[in-house]
Amino acid sequence: MAVKKTGLGKGLDSLITPKQALEKDSIPVQEKTIIKNEEVKLKLTEIEPNREQPRKKFDEDTLIELADSIRQFGVLQPLIVQKRGDYYEIIAGERRWRAAKMAGLKEVPVIIREFSEQQAVEISLIENIQRENLNPIEEAVAYKRLLTEFELKQDEVAERVSKSRTAVTNSMRLLKLDERVQQMVIDEMITTGHARALLAITDQELQYKFAMKVFDEKMSVRDVERMVKSYGEKKEEKIKQNSANAFIYQDMADKMKVLLGTKVSIEHKKNNKGKIVIDYYSNEDLERLMDLFQSLSMDSTV
């Protein structure tokens, strides 16, 4: 049976490239000299997670499974770290570090490298995306950071994470969801399929209500698509009706404007109620309108 490749992936390989010759400069650790790019061992207490790590949620069950594997076989792939003052920061491999702690290990294999701030964040993002360790919202945020912070194009991001440009675009669209709906995706209350169907609802409050309905009624993606389509058709019909009514009321207002010789507006409300607003621009103009109303009143009694 073929052994599954455990390399870092195309995106990471482009950032972590072994040098043709060993570098002369070195980093002292525990009175030992470590040549950069060589695998060495560090105590777990000397290592800390990257504060810019895009992954915020770690599945406890999968960590336990990895910890069991580490107890039997050890950490098979070294962590990538860099020196940060009096500790080493994880650039790639936080999940392995957490599982190693659960397994009771005291030290883990690492490769010590030096990265720019951009490289450190980018590698952390790409590693998590490639290993599918991020939930859909974390993944979308990671893509956005690669685009905005590092000014990469979507094609470049797609190439680095070995995904299609369409996949990157569709992922980032999830960030247009209401934050409460995004949390429902993170909590696996609804799927990304449900979420993408709800993107057609632009009203954030209504979008959240629909999402709760999807969860409560255990609706399928097809059900959500039909619900959203029905809502869109009703909304379109309402807009057309409101547009027709607005034309009628505007026509009435225009006729009153000609009759009264001043600006007139009609504010139509629900239940066929509303008010007529008649503008005047001076006391004399007001008196003119009063005389006009009185004359119209007298004409109606004749």
Note the pTM of the prediction, 2 decimals. 0.55
Q: Which of 21-35, 115-129, 134-148, 184-198 has the lowest mean pLDDT?
A: 21-35
User: What's the CA gap between 92 and 49, in Å, rounded?
Assistant: 9
Count of CA atoms in the C-beta half-sphere (13 A) of 27: 20
Give the CA diameter of the chain: 114
Catalytic residue among 46, 60, 94, 122: 94
* 37 close to 21: Cβ distance less than 8 angstroms: no
Token reading at 226: 């039909």
Q: How far is CA 133 from the centre of its chain?
A: 16
CA gap 215, 194 in Å, rounded: 10
In angstroms, the first-to-last Cα distance of the chain is 106
- The crossing angle, in degrees rounded to 10, of helices 117-130 and 136-148 is 150
Please state, in angstroms and as integers, the Cα–Cα distance from residue 66 to each residue in 70, 75, 130, 239, following that order.
Answer: 6, 9, 18, 56
| Per-residue DSSP letter, 279 | -
Do β-strands 26-29 and 32-35 pair in parallel, antiparallel, or remain unpaired? antiparallel
User: How many Å apart are CA 70 and CA 249, to the nearest integer?
Assistant: 75
The backbone torsions φ and ψ at residue 300, rounded to the nearest 5 degrees and listed phi first, read: -75, -20
Instruction: Please say if 159 is a catalytic residue.
Output: no
State the Cα torsion 77-82-88-94 to the nearest 10°: -40
User: Rounded CA gap, 177 and 186, in Å?
Assistant: 12
pLDDT digits (tens, 9 = 90+) for 7-66: 334 444 444 443 323 333 333 333 333 445 678 888 988 998 877 665 666 777 888 888
Type of residue numbered 122: E
Higher pLDDT, 208 or 23: 208
User: For all residues of the chain together, what is the average pLDDT?
Assistant: 78
pLDDT digit string, tens, across residues 171-199: 999 999 999 999 999 999 999 999 999 99
Residues 6+ apart with CB under 8 A from 67: 99, 100, 102, 103
